[in-house]
Chains A and B, each alone.
Chain A
């Protein structure tokens, strides 16, 4: 990008945008890297059960798998649609 382009604000630095997008997507993929293959199916099943009782927005769910000592903690964070209070379902499994 030339100096004149910069002065006139003609073009954005696309490489910088690529860098920011990659930083975000790689960070997200790293947290899921060690997750077991059944995680998406499990998430879907749990959500279907929850949705039977509470109205929820399926777009707004966060699933997290963490290790705490000898335990693996599967955390589902489901925001309730009407009053913005979050409900967290924690499932704990003993690590292999």
Chain B
């Protein structure tokens, strides 16, 4: 059985698609056949972040409507072996995503194509697309910025995960949520201008799977269409690598969570 992981947050712009691309690529790099599925119907973007927008022919909705076979819609990554992505459609009608349809596609991904991991890139909000992305999940990565609105929205999403997932409806073990704090800036935390890791963790009350530092390399990676995890020189890339290892059960201490040594003078006068 494949494991289904939803990357979700409630709030937009916190790094869901960046995380989905890097997390999926990381699993594939470690030899697991992985597909990243874009659930943002109408606002397809995962293809751009993964750099395969020009090779999209058919999409998720075409497969659900049986206008195309799953194999025709899956886009195979050119850099990373075992990595695939299923693009969202650009249609404006969100009702095309049905539970039966998604269930059928997921079943085929697991049973016939032998995928080990299905990573669902959720759209922002708590509307149909977001609910569908989390419905089938076994585990959830809740992407949260150390910022007041993002924390509140993550808390809302945790409520929906525990009440409206398939696991909840069928009385199975609940969806396992993990906290991923992104855009973390230890300097600002030290200056009392940003919620600390400990505070976010305590407020949301779920286990932490990683911290991605605020980093210029994330924008550079998206400009290039390369998941940032492939940039082994960047802190964000290394931090994502650690996240994947922890997810697979390895023990990796947190990195980039404390401020780099500042001079005593600066600490005294600020700036």
A-to-B contact residues, CB < 8 Å: 1-5, 11, 13-16, 18-19, 21-23, 25-26, 29-30, 33-34
**Cβ–Cβ < 8 Å partners of B191 in chain A:** 1-2
Name the CB-closest residue of A to B192.
A13
| B159–A33 touching, CB < 8 Å | yes
Interface set of B (CB-CB < 8 Å, partner A) = 147-148, 151-152, 155-156, 159, 163, 189, 191-196, 199, 203, 266-271
Residues of A within 8 A of B271 (CB): 2
A22-B203, A26-B152, A34-B163 known; A15 vs B270 contact (CB < 8 Å): no
State in angstroms the CA–CA spacing of A18 and B199 once bound together.
10
A19-B203, A29-B152, A34-B163 known; 15 other A-B pairs, CB under 8 Å?
A1-B191, A3-B267, A5-B270, A15-B189, A15-B193, A15-B194, A15-B199, A18-B147, A18-B195, A21-B148, A22-B195, A22-B203, A26-B151, A26-B152, A29-B155
Nearest chain B CB to A17's CB is how many angstroms away?
9
Residues of A within 8 A of B203 (CB): 19, 22-23, 26
Q: Across the interface, which residues of B come within 8 angstroms of A15, CB to CB?
A: 189, 192-196, 199
Main secondary structure of the interface of B (DSSP, over half): helix
A13 surroundings in chain B (CB, below 8 A) = 192
14 A–B pairs (Cβ distance < 8 Å), ordered by A:
A5-B270, A14-B193, A15-B189, A15-B193, A16-B192, A19-B195, A19-B199, A22-B148, A22-B151, A22-B152, A23-B203, A25-B152, A26-B155, A33-B159
- Per the bound structure, the CA–CA distance linking A25 and B152 in Å amounts to 8
Tell me the nearest residue of chain B to A13, going by C-beta: B192
In the assembled complex, the Cα of A34 lies from the Cα of B163 at a distance in Å of: 9
In the bound complex, do residue B192 and residue A1 qualify as a contact, i.e. CB atoms below 8 Å apart?
A: yes
What chain A residues lie within 8 Å of B159 (beta carbons)? Answer: 29-30, 33
Residue pair A4, B269 in contact (C-beta under 8 Å): yes
Q: Please, which residues of chain B bring their CB within 8 A of the CB of A2?
A: 191, 266-271
How far does the Cβ of A35 sit from chain B's closest Cβ, in whole Å? 11
CB distance from B134 to the nearest CB of A (A): 16
Given the complex, which residues of A lie within 8 Å of B151, measured CB to CB?
A: 22, 26
Residues of A within 8 A of B268 (CB): 2-4
Among residues of B, the one whose C-beta sits closest to the C-beta of A5 is: B270
CA distance A16 to B191 in the complex (A): 11
| Bound form: Cα–Cα A25–B223 in Å | 37
Contacts of A22 in B (CB 8 A): 148, 151-152, 195, 203
Chain A residues with CB under 8 A of B195 = 15, 18-19, 22
Residues of B within 8 A of A34 (CB): 163
Nearest 5 A-B pairs (CB), nearest first? Answer: A2-B270, A13-B192, A1-B192, A18-B148, A33-B159
Complex contacts, B270 vs chain A, CB 8 Å: 1-2, 4-5
Q: Chain B contacts of A11 at CB under 8 A?
A: 192
Q: Is the CB of A14 within 8 A of B156?
A: no
| Nearest Cβ on chain A to B184's Cβ, whole angstroms | 12
